Structure 1
Amino acid sequence: MKFKILEEIVNFYVDSSDFNGISYWRLKEIFGIGEKETNYDPILVELISEGKISVNYTLNPHIKQFKDFSIESQ
């Protein structure tokens, strides 16, 4: 399952015309429909720990910021 998730993430990124990443909710939709409730979070955490994927928690998910800048520092 870990490889299938990583493959889906990579394919979504490469096939995107603007190289946007896939959302967590989209992954849940892809792997959760038609299956019993399964928590894929540990697999995602493992992929993050291995440096194979990254996570973006900003308000605009289409822009990966290198550093979150406070309003004062801007």
Structure 2
Amino acid sequence: QGVCKSVIGRRLETSVYWTVSDANYLSKLGNIKAVIMGPSGGNHHSPDEYVHIPSVYALAEILNEILRG
């Protein structure tokens, strides 16, 4: 959350929900928690799906900072 605040000026909203992703495989291995995050947009998995380009750059910067430690 600290990295997100420094990059985008706020903490990310968090929620817990069921999803279909590779995180499902991690949970079957034991009590392994996963974080799923991505750029903002809408109309997911439809012909009208879109992404806010600035959020793609922000996500790349967040992931870069996390990986750099």
TM-score bracket relative to the smaller structure: 0.3 to 0.5
- The normalised TM-score by structure 1 is 0.32
The TM-score normalised by the length of structure 2 is: 0.33
Identify the structure with bigger relative contact order (alpha carbons < 8 Å, sequence gap 6+). 2
More strand by share: 2
